[in-house]
Chain A
Amino acid sequence: MTPPASGLKVGLFATCVNDLMFPETPRMVAQMLGRLGAEVVSSPKQTCCGQMFTNTGYVKQGLQTVEAYIDAFSGCDYVVGPSASCVGSVRDQHSWLTKDHPNLHQEAVELSAKTLDLTEFLIDVLNVDDVGASFPHSVTYHSSCHSLRITKLGDRPLRLLRAVKGLTLIDLPDADRCCGFGGTFSMKNPDVSIAMATSKAKAIANTGAQFVTAPDNACLLNIGGILHRQQARIRPIHLAAILSSKESA
């Protein structure tokens, strides 16, 4: 049987936060996509989605990252990233950022349409719910605002999690409420950000799960920062790490 992704050239969009702080996440994605048969490419020309700049009002800098993105990934069948937020930003913002730059615009539009979150690529393109992972632990899922409302992942992450062997999924109350990260919001409004993260961390800890997972390391960085400071037992883990896990009970 040919693996589901064979013949597809997939650009691995690591994203800046992962590249710098959580390199194991894109590493695991690269390996998983490789196992599924894809030709995985990762260009050192990539930097980030640009939302850090765009969302802070620095549109010129945002536009420059679009150029780097096109430079890095044109020619790929798909671009896949383990970050619903960054993928959402590419799809939502690259088109309007380039609207006054006809030389970039067409390519930006085409490339953003091919840019998918890992969960979309697995479910929509490869038609795979079960990636053969096993993770014998209790897990609660933080959906992340951008995965819900910008990238619109819907229940894809949950479908993938439910197919993981040994995993017990525990519901997180008010899962759709923001964790307070908000990119530069966490710097510009630190007190509100911390208050939001604290209440999210509390809800997460109250689930009693062993792990909290999310489609975005940025949210986990924020929530995990509180949990680690409070020496909570529950640990943050990226969705991709669970989907890559072969841990047996």
Chain B
Amino acid sequence: MTAAPIVLPRDADGRLTPAPPPGELIDMPRFPVNAKHELANTEQIGNLERATATIRGKRAARASEVANWEELRSAAEAIKNKVARNLDHYLLEAEAKLTAAGAQVHWARDAEEANRIIVDLVKQTKAPEVVKAKSMVTQEINMNEALEAANIAAWETDLAELIVQLGHDRPSHILVPAIHKNRHQIRDIFVREMGIYGTPAPAGLTDNPTDLTAAARTHLRNKFMRAQVGTSGGNFLVAETGTLVVVESEGNARMCLTLPDTLISVVGIEKIVPTFDDLEIFMELLPRSSTGERMNPYSSMWTGVTPGDGPQNVHVVLVDNGRSTVLADPITRQTLRCLRCSACMNTCPVYDLVGGHAYGSVYPGPIGICLTPQMRGLHSAVDLSLPYACTLCEACVDVCPVKINFPEVTINLRKDVADHKRHDHRPHLETTAISAAGFFFAKGSRFTLMTKASSLFGRLFGWKRYFKGHTPWPAKVWTSARDLPVPAKQSFRAWWKKNHERS
């Protein structure tokens, strides 16, 4: 006897899953424009500040209690550098081991190819839906929408991802996707949306975190129990054994990895670690850096198919999607070391205020502004602006478990943007202004001329100590909220000349 096919309900838009906001991330406006928009959301700023401050404190406590923390970071850096240098070798080794263990390996050059492979694999099973373990690469390739377009529902099962999905929203953080929402907002989303896409929220749902979690559990239970296909990402892929590793906090990923008959794991090609022994270092670094825990509650490891236990059809889709381009640059390729722990964004004062939605990328914060323009290329308005979304305060440098030198990458990207501006045959105020400044700063004698001119400046306009009223560009950018002193009447060099070079 075969079970009756599952017929999934459709929402008012005729969709199986909640529609995310319209448009593509890459088409978003420049970062400063998005940031301004986000800064108007004071409720969100409060949510972010509270959450990041907590997680920053936890990370610092869990890192500082490890005596050889710096050695672990250096070891992780060295292993990941070795992987980058020999990626071709390790990938083929991983493919051979995976295949020998009964998994099928698929190679995807870009997002489109990855989605085509995934959609085809699900279609072969005839399943109308998949349950999803949280994964950044599937967000990066926008897998959910590709499946929806093929009439397949992709259900997020991570609590925060579920909140975001039901909220018709986008993740704003790579580890805590709903970091921008508070529990009142979450309750409202659950009450409004759960019933449209499955088991409704219980009557009288409160915004107590325990009740919210219970509601999510009930909503998901059904989906888990009937799922025929699960999808996941992979935190690590051990080349030597073909073992995939997923670490998580909630246990939902464990269900996605073990309950369905078919498992499709989508893995970025940089996720390789050479040996099982190497894992030891990363398993120490990752939970402490990301959730600020000594150990994450669930670590799942599997190697191909185990007959009679767990998924019997195991697929691994290895995704490039710009990574090999990143690999080509010996300086900036260090971003491929990233473990997606999120420590850098949790410590970033810019991210802290604007949140993840300002970045036009699934990767926000320090790693986002480095990695995204590298992977997508410096073409779109948002990608050209991302390298500048940083004060170079270097707070991220101290916390990254794989020691990415963010300012080095950022400045290199800024150089590429500046070159791009010089060569696009369009006038740029900045390029002109900086070239002019460059002329005056190149020689002390020219700089002296400039100080003489600027000393006159305040007096010329009758300003005594501060700029007043309508100030000219670029000062006016500054003076919208900040007072700006006028240049001194007597520069330091003029004083020095007068007092030390009397001839």
Stretch at the interface among A65-73, A105-113, A126-134: A65-73
The reply on B31 being an interface residue by CB < 8 A is: yes
Return the chain B residue nearest A71 by Cβ. Answer: B444
The reply on B218 being an interface residue by CB < 8 A is: no
Stretch at the interface among A162-170, A205-213, A224-232: A224-232
Stretch at the interface among A38-46, A117-125, A153-161, A239-247: A38-46
Chain B 432-470 near chain A by CB (<8 Å), digits 1 or 0: 001101101111110110010010000000000010000
Q: Is the CB of B490 within 8 A of A23?
A: yes
The reply on A183 being an interface residue by CB < 8 A is: yes
- B212 to chain A: closest CB distance in Å? 30
Chain B 374-391 near chain A by CB (<8 Å), digits 1 or 0: 000000000000011111
Return the chain B residue nearest A183 by Cβ. Answer: B392
A226 to B478, CA, bound (A): 10
Query: Given A55-B392, A177-B349, A181-B391, are A226 and B482 also a contact pair (CB < 8 Å)?
Result: yes
The A interface is mostly helix, strand or loop, or mixed, namely helix
- B46 to chain A: closest CB distance in Å? 12
The reply on A192 being an interface residue by CB < 8 A is: yes
A193 to B443, CA, bound (A): 31
With beta carbons under 8 angstroms apart, the residue of A14, A45, A145, A195 that contacts B39 is A195
A79 to B395, CA, bound (A): 27
The reply on B354 being an interface residue by CB < 8 A is: yes
Return the chain A residue nearest B448 by Cβ. Answer: A44
Chain B 475-489 near chain A by CB (<8 Å), digits 1 or 0: 001111111110110
The reply on A26 being an interface residue by CB < 8 A is: yes
Interface residues of A in 1-30 (CB under 8 A from B): 14, 16, 18-24, 26-27, 30
A60 to B491, CA, bound (A): 26
The reply on A191 being an interface residue by CB < 8 A is: yes
The reply on B276 being an interface residue by CB < 8 A is: no
Residues of B within 8 A of A37 (CB): none
Instruction: Classify chain B's interface size.
Output: 35 or more
Return the chain A residue nearest B396 by Cβ. Answer: A149
Residues of B within 8 A of A221 (CB): 484-485
The reply on A188 being an interface residue by CB < 8 A is: yes
Residues of A within 8 A of B500 (CB): 42
Q: Is the CB of B447 within 8 A of A21?
A: no
The reply on B204 being an interface residue by CB < 8 A is: no
Max chain A Cβ within 10 angstroms of own Cβ: one of B437, B447, B485: B447
Max chain A Cβ within 10 angstroms of own Cβ: one of B398, B414, B438, B451: B438
The reply on B343 being an interface residue by CB < 8 A is: no
A180 to B36, CA, bound (A): 15
Return the chain A residue nearest B441 by Cβ. Answer: A47
Residues of B within 8 A of A146 (CB): 393-394
Stretch at the interface among B159-167, B192-200, B243-251, B415-423: B415-423
Residues of A within 8 A of B488 (CB): 20-24
User: Could you show 9 A-B contacts with beta carbons less than 8 Å apart?
Assistant: A21-B487, A27-B492, A44-B445, A52-B437, A58-B435, A68-B443, A145-B391, A149-B394, A229-B481
Residues in chain A within 8 A of chain B (CB atoms): 14, 16, 18-24, 26-27, 30, 42-48, 50, 52-61, 64-65, 67-68, 71-72, 145-146, 149-150, 176-178, 180-198, 221-222, 224-226, 228-229
Given contacts A52-B437, A178-B349, 13 further A-B contacts (CB under 8 A): A20-B491, A21-B487, A22-B488, A48-B441, A56-B418, A64-B441, A64-B442, A180-B349, A187-B477, A188-B388, A190-B32, A190-B478, A225-B484
Residues in chain B within 8 A of chain A (CB atoms): 31-32, 35-36, 39, 349-350, 353-354, 387-395, 397-398, 411, 413-419, 430, 434-435, 437-438, 440-445, 447-448, 451, 454, 466, 474, 477-485, 487-488, 490-497, 500
